[in-house]
Structure 1
């Protein structure tokens, strides 16, 4: 998957340990993203928790994002 061709947005808040963990993992995977850390925008989007990773219209919670990242590197069965 070419992540450079996809638009990624990461919704975060200050003092969020899970947000920091996901940011580090995205950095490690060399996935670029736009970070949005405005609580009003996050509420407007309807997100009750952060982090939320949105890629090509698909929204991932922290656990879902980590599972997706783990799956990326595996060869197809």
Structure 2
């Protein structure tokens, strides 16, 4: 498996926490030295491990925001 390098540039917020201490977070992350993107995924307590997630550009994040704002919950 390829070595994936990441740097969390900014922690925007926590969405939830599992009983095992993993947190679902929205962060601004640079993957393999590339331009940072918004990233939503589960992280182990010290950010040493991560779960599957999604990365979004600014435009994609704005579109998601608009979709969520239009929902009736």
Richer in helix (by share): 1
TM value normalised by structure 2: 0.43
Richer in strand (by share): 2
Select the structure of larger CA radius of gyration: 2
The higher relative CO (CA closer than 8 Å, separation ≥ 6) is in 1
TM value normalised by structure 1: 0.41
